[in-house]
Amino acid sequence: MSFLEVLKDSVDKVDGAVSAMIIGRDGMSVQEYAREKLVDLTGLSAEASAMIKDISLAADNLGLGEAREFSIISDRCGIIMRKINTDYYLALVIKPDGNYGKGRFILKTAIPKLEGEF
């Protein structure tokens, strides 16, 4: 499956999901798919770099081990990010009333489809 197919499939399987993207640790977008834009995906990829660093540092300081997944839930949308490998993350953007539990599950099952491509 291509990156775009995995992203589209992830969005299509989750009620309320509107976009997905693969983001590098450096904040660069590798691939994105948007059925609807609730958030500026270019801005999200740029901000993701700082979020990844901060969350990794916090997890390390707390002795939690490696942070594999994190989410931000706001009034306008939710963003779930899951680690693909040390350099890349998969992000899913969901409407406030979307199915966040299924979103987390779909990201978890999408990672094996992407790992071999990096």
Q: What is the pLDDT of residues 44-87, one digit of tens each?
A: 998 988 999 999 999 999 999 999 999 999 999 999 999 999 99
For residue 49, the tally of other CB atoms under 10 A from its CB is: 16
CATH 3.30.450.30 applies to domain 3-113? yes
pLDDT in tens, 2-43: 999 999 999 999 999 999 999 999 989 999 999 998 899 989
Work out the end-to-end distance of the chain between its first and last CA atoms, rounded to an integer number of angstroms: 13
Distances (CA, A) of 101 to 9, 34, 91, 93: 16, 20, 14, 13
Q: Domain segments of the chain: what residues?
A: 3-113
Whole-model pTM: value is 0.93
